[in-house]
Structure 1
Amino acid sequence: MGKFSRLGNDLYTGRKSVDFVGKTRVWYAISGLIIIAAVLGLYFKGLNFGLEFRGGAQFTVSMPANEATQDNADQLRDDVAGTGIAAAQQVVVTTAGKNSIIVETEPVTPAEGNQISTTIQQSVGVTKADISTDEIGPSWGKEVAKRSAIGLVVFLVLVTLMIWGYFRQWKMSVAAMVALSHDLLITVGIYALSGFEVTPATVTGVLTILGFSLYDTVVVFDKVRENTKNLRSTHQTYAEAANLAVNQTLVRSINTSIVALIPVGAILYVGAVQLGSGPLKDLALALFVGMAAGAYSSIFIATPLLAHLKSLEPDVQELEKRVKARRRHQVDPYAQVPVYTDDMPVAAEAPLTGDREEQTAAARSGGARPQPNTDATGRGRVVPPSRGPVRPSSSSGRAQPSRKSKSKRGKK
């Protein structure tokens, strides 16, 4: 943990840095492959909607301890399908813990329901009191889907306006919404590939991950705003300041994601392995996939996309040019000093030679006086203008004092 803490401190101060923003194409390619797999799963397998959405009959069979095995579930599936009832041909049989098995069929009539109940009693040796029957109409599932869609749209609109108003930058709202759509598509694709049923608990989990995904993204964006507030004084480009913000929040994002994923993973294991069926595993799978995708998108998608959108602004491009010019000067401060050539104009020769005798001779002969170069030669430096030509000094004909030894000083 000590090394991890030192790494976090180095990332925060900038002594160490991971180039998240500079490798945008790599992260886009990885996300593109994941999204393609999710879309293919949706296209070829589709979502396995639960009984609450498609409607039907559900028979819950209570059994003695440890008898709700997969062998009994397979036996029930074959026996119920063998009744010849059309609604029972696509029967779904799953275990629910160690004491019950759930049998799901299409909507059936009361007579067909009694026939299926009798078949279950004969198949696994239970009584009629051990079987509970629930009839669910598809209209309830449609109402749940409709209200969930309305809630999702309202949520997205309000969050977009909130991010826009808080950060005062619509490009942050766009980047956050793209990252959120990325998380939702991956979560839905994982559901299609895994074959888990889509139940109202799944919808609850999907709506929950929206807030978690945006929470992590907003934290990173807040640090980006702090780092880019005074870019001129920090001598950084917008992309570098944004990348520093991601590095500064990296350890925090990893820690919070791990802390959140551990209990959700435990719930997923209990719901899928121990219980076998029920809303617990549906909720946990949506939360687990959505949280993992949200942590990934806030680091690898949202901030790089924001930096890319900001790089199209003229002010950001101009700042980037100034920063690069400053760094070139820092590497070689004499890179802009002109090099002497034979065809250089006379006005530029005298300042380059540095020979004062030639300048004096040119002035005495009445030749053209070379003018000093007043262009800036370095960072923040401006050559002062000349006050006049250099003339011969009146003291040039006088006898100049000579240095005498100490013993002869004061003697004539």
Structure 2
Amino acid sequence: MRIFQHANYPFMQWRRRAYIITGVMLLAGFAAMIMNATNRYGSWLNYGVDFKGGTVVQLEFNQPVQADQLRAAAEAAGRTGWEITNFGSPREFVIRMEAFSGSSEQVVQQTLASRFPPTSYRIVRTEAVGPKVGNELQFRALVAILLSLMVTMVYLWVRFEWRFGLAAIAATMHDILITLGLLALMGSEISLGTVAAFLTIVGYSLNDTIVVFDRIREDLAKPRHGKTYMELLNQAINETLPRTVLTASGTLATLVSLAVLGGPVIRDFAVVLILGIFIGTFSSIFVASPVLYFIESKWPHKPPTRQQAAPSQSGRPRARTAV
């Protein structure tokens, strides 16, 4: 990435523009969540069967079939919101759908009757996920994300100091909230796979932020040569810019391939990660370091001005010297 070999972009001077972009995206996301809760889904997000409850039906066909054939049969019967995934062999599939008042097995048979005769497959198992279990999964997913943030905060506190840890957590929360807002705008379904994608986003964003913070710490340990704290932050961002761009580009290339070629099963997971990579890269440049600058301006370092040396061999106390 020779084009960034001598990068000197004024990222810190652009932070107010980034604040405006972040504010607009947050407001749009919150507005979408409110609309979802009042009109579309009855909740802030479009929760899938894993969270709001439903039914899981496992099928085994006599001959290998394609998942797209099952989805086409479901769409022809007007069954929207069904999640159909391959389960092991090409002859086994799992259907996740909303709960019905009648028999779920009859609903599946009626839906597939137009393309698959009842003798061409058998129903292996049927499981119901109640709303109580869905609420418990929501709670555990939230706990998993919060615990990951707490452990990260402790790690950064030990590795660096509390200012860096607080700034990294603020950038990570920014990534989560913006991604949730975009998913609310798109009406994407939230499943356990989405939670896994969020945890991946948290790890990626923090890794990128830590790289920048590590360079900031190295630059702070060197002679400043008259540079201000803001200039040192901007210098660190530019020095790590080639690594940031290369990592994001390589990851995005893989995720775009998954989204395009991976099929409907993996597409939602890949889309969430693509959004997270864009937002995480943005936050590592325009959120983490500006937040660190704000914290430093409010609570600056206060190193001791004098150091008491140990007594000399002659018994006389040494003179105090300024640090």
Shift of 1:186: 1.6
- CA distance, structure 1, for counterparts of residue 189 and residue 32 of structure 2: 14
* 1:377 aligned partner: none
Shift of 1:166: 1.6
Instruction: Note the alpha carbon deviations across 1:165-185, whole angstroms, 9 max, x for none.
Output: 2212x2222211110001001
In percent, how many aligned pairs have the same letter?
A: 28
User: Contact conserved, 2:208 with 2:281, CA < 8 A, in 1?
Assistant: yes
User: Contact conserved, 2:73 with 2:111, CA < 8 A, in 1?
Assistant: no
* 1:294 aligned partner: 280
- CA distance, structure 2, for counterparts of residue 104 and residue 70 of structure 1: 12
- CA distance, structure 2, for counterparts of residue 65 and residue 183 of structure 1: 36
User: Contact conserved, 2:205 with 2:277, CA < 8 A, in 1?
Assistant: yes
- CA distance, structure 1, for counterparts of residue 199 and residue 72 of structure 2: 36
Instruction: State the TM-score, normalizing by the size of structure 2.
Output: 0.77
After the TM superposition, which residues 277-288 of structure 1 pair with which residues of structure 2 at under 5 Å, given as runs? 278=265, 280-288=266-274
Counterpart AA for 1:288 = I
2:65 aligned with 1:76 = no
Counterpart AA for 1:54 = K
* 2:159 aligned partner: 166
Counterpart AA for 2:255 = V
After the TM superposition, which residues 19-34 of structure 1 pair with which residues of structure 2 at under 5 Å, given as runs? 19-34=10-25
- CA distance, structure 1, for counterparts of residue 300 and residue 111 of structure 2: 73
After the TM superposition, which residues 260-271 of structure 1 pair with which residues of structure 2 at under 5 Å, given as runs? 260-271=251-262
- CA distance, structure 2, for counterparts of residue 151 and residue 67 of structure 1: 33
- CA distance, structure 2, for counterparts of residue 96 and residue 137 of structure 1: 17
- CA distance, structure 2, for counterparts of residue 67 and residue 214 of structure 1: 37
- CA distance, structure 2, for counterparts of residue 101 and residue 289 of structure 1: 28
RMSD, aligned CA: 3.0
Alignment match of 1:236 (pick from 203, 227, 242): 227
Instruction: Note the alpha carbon deviations across 1:227-269, whole angstroms, 9 max, x for none.
Output: 12245x4110000011000000111101011111211221122
User: Contact conserved, 1:238 with 1:311, CA < 8 A, in 2?
Assistant: no
Counterpart AA for 1:148 = A
User: Contact conserved, 1:264 with 1:284, CA < 8 A, in 2?
Assistant: yes
- CA distance, structure 1, for counterparts of residue 296 and residue 26 of structure 2: 25
Instruction: Note the alpha carbon deviations across 1:370-392, whole angstroms, 9 max, x for none.
Output: xxxxxxxxxxxxxxxxxxxxxxx
2:142 aligned with 1:184 = no
Counterpart AA for 1:198 = I
Give the match's secondary structure for 1:179.
helix
Shift of 1:59: 4.8
After the TM superposition, which residues 7-406 of structure 1 pair with which residues of structure 2 at under 5 Å, given as runs? 7-11=3-7, 17-45=8-36, 46-59=44-57, 68=69, 72-77=73-78, 92-93=81-82, 102=95, 104-109=97-102, 112-130=103-121, 132=123, 134-138=126-130, 139-168=132-161, 170-231=162-223, 233-271=224-262, 275-276=263-264, 278=265, 280-313=266-299
User: Contact conserved, 1:57 with 1:108, CA < 8 A, in 2?
Assistant: no
Aligned CA distance change for structure 1 residues 155 and 93 (closer, same or farther; 3 Å): closer
Instruction: Note the alpha carbon deviations across 1:15-53, whole angstroms, 9 max, x for none.
Output: xx1111122211111111122222222221332212122
Give the match's secondary structure for 2:114.
helix
- CA distance, structure 2, for counterparts of residue 228 and residue 167 of structure 1: 12
* Structure having the higher Rg: 1
User: Contact conserved, 1:76 with 1:124, CA < 8 A, in 2?
Assistant: no
Give the match's secondary structure for 2:55.
strand
Shift of 1:225: 1.4
Instruction: State the TM-score, normalizing by the size of structure 1.
Output: 0.62
Instruction: Note the alpha carbon deviations across 1:200-235, whole angstroms, 9 max, x for none.
Output: 11111111211111111011011111112245x411
Which runs of 5 or more structure 1 residues have no equivalent in the other structure?
Answer: 12-16, 81-90, 317-412
Shift of 1:107: 4.2
User: Contact conserved, 2:164 with 2:213, CA < 8 A, in 1?
Assistant: yes
Aligned CA distance change for structure 1 residues 19 and 127 (closer, same or farther; 3 Å): same
Instruction: Note the alpha carbon deviations across 1:331-359, whole angstroms, 9 max, x for none.
Output: xxxxxxxxxxxxxxxxxxxxxxxxxxxxx
- CA distance, structure 2, for counterparts of residue 188 and residue 120 of structure 1: 33
Which runs of 5 or more structure 2 residues have no equivalent in the other structure?
Answer: 37-43, 303-323
Moved more, 171-180 or 188-197: 188-197
